[in-house]
Amino acid sequence: MAPGNGSFVNEFILLGLTNQPDLQLPLFFLFLGMYLVTVLGNLGLIILIALNSHLHTPMYFFLFNLSFIDLCYSSVFTPKMLINFLSKKNIISYLGCMTQLYFFCFFIISECYVLTSMAYDRYVAICKPLLYNVVMSPKVCSSLMFGSYLMAFSGAMAHTGCMLRLTFCDANTINHYFCDILPLLQLSCTSTYVIELEVFIVGGINIIVPSLTIFVSYGLILTNILHISSTEGRSKAFSTCSSHIIAVSLFFGSGAFMYLKPPSAVSMDEGKISSVFYTNMIPMMNPLIYSLRNKDVKLALRKTLSRKQF
């Protein structure tokens, strides 16, 4: 029995993405490649922002934190996932499962609020440019980040605390490739009604509140852009926001699909596909989205590479 919990299970078996042996090796190389791109992309952005003083602005402060979060939360389960592709029996301990769940919740909720802070930053930059340096002061930026991590800590504690109250009797096979909330609920041999309600409420707050804030911010930005008379000014304003809109749409769209439905309405196969999207694809795509369309990042990369040459 695991300490401090009413469960008879002390380890779980992860079924993984697929049970077809022929696909295990190709999937290993696919996800290894994706993970390497994720690590190199996010680590590269972190280093570029740290080394280049012209990127020490509020927008890049938030992007620095976003890259850090993406790097961490993809590392919560991808290494274990890669090992499982090559293992015959994919076992994770009860404590390991709950730890994985906690850090997954912490980093994914953090990302919700960092993306919200980035939307607010773009709103101030476009709608109140003369007040930008005052409104987005270092103190305000630090407070927004502290609030993001505080909300993440609270949400992760709520989700993990509820999971620790569940009792797992004989069933210990998780139909997933990591310890997610919904597959764990299906294994419980006690009522999960209260916990499903908690997941829906806390998950709803952490998806709907940031989504509405971002929606309102971009509504105001769009209104402001339409009042800009010059075509060049409109184009510049749109290009400033387009990367963030793409990232937000991908992240919140896949998260809402997974967590804003009752657990009984989510098929595990659909859940796995959705999970791959927001746990593997988005951390890999964010550095590409923000760097390929960004002149400042390209300039910083050229400067950094030229320094190394000399």
CA atoms within 13 A on the CB side of 67: 25
* 203/182 Cα distance (integer angstroms): 12
* 250/253 Cα distance (integer angstroms): 5
* 115/111 Cα distance (integer angstroms): 6
Cite the DSSP H helix spans in 227-261. Answer: 231-259
Structure tokens at 264: 């009984």
pLDDT tens digits for range 134-171: 999 999 999 999 999 999 999 999 999 988 888 888 77
* 131/125 Cα distance (integer angstroms): 8
Question: What's the pLDDT band for 53 if we cut at 50, 70, 90?
Answer: confident
Do 176 and 271 meet the contact criterion of CB atoms below 8 Å apart?
A: yes
CA 50, chain centre distance (Å): 22
* 8/167 Cα distance (integer angstroms): 7
Strand segments (E) across 62-202: 91-93, 173-174
* 248/255 Cα distance (integer angstroms): 11
pLDDT tens digits for range 16-48: 887 788 888 999 999 999 999 999 999 999 998
Question: What's the pLDDT band for 10 if we cut at 50, 70, 90?
Answer: confident
What do you get for the CA distance between the two ends of the chain, in Å? 61
* 221/282 Cα distance (integer angstroms): 24
pLDDT tens digits for range 131-141: 999 999 999 99
Do 196 and 262 meet the contact criterion of CB atoms below 8 Å apart?
A: yes
Phi, psi of 308 (to 5 degrees): -65, -35
* 225/239 Cα distance (integer angstroms): 11
